[in-house]
Amino acid sequence: MGELKLIGRTGITANIGVKKVHPVEVENHIRKIIGVSDAWVTVMRDRRGDDFLAAAIETGRKQSEIESALGAELPVWKLPKRYRIQASLPRTDHGKLDIRQLKVMLKEYSGLKVS
């Protein structure tokens, strides 16, 4: 029989300073906030090539409320630097978040590169 070796980690990781964070970790915290229907967090890079997190959030709440709730749960370096807050996020025909459209939305919104 063959052998399978898994090396490294799956998924995208942001390198913020010398620390690493998985966007899914931040998504999970956002989804727990009362009034949030769904969320998607990704890694973006600024013009210098430094990573930061950007979040698309489906909610009727204000960005300041989301930031305050997240700030109570996460260290500052794990907080998204860009937010796109809407009453509804784009979905596929199967009802899942449309990641392709979300990437375009966040890229257009910030003018920066999405990973």
Report pLDDT for 9: 47
d(CA 41, CA 51): 13
Q: How would residue 5 be classed by pLDDT, with cut points 50, 70 and 90?
A: low
Q: What is the DSSP letter of 8?
A: S
Report pLDDT for 47: 85
pTM of the model: 0.82
Q: How would residue 91 be classed by pLDDT, with cut points 50, 70 and 90?
A: very high
Q: What share of residues in the chain are helix, strand, coil (percent, to 5)?
A: 30, 30, 40
Task: Assess if CATH 3.40.50.300 describes domain 14-114.
Answer: no
Task: Find, among 40, 37, 34, the residue nearest to 53 by Cα.
Answer: 40
| Residue 48 pLDDT greater than 60, yes or no | yes
Q: Give me the residue spans of the domains in the chain.
A: 14-114
Q: Of residues 4 and 111, which shows the higher confidence score?
A: 4
Q: How far apart are the first and last CA of the chain?
A: 37
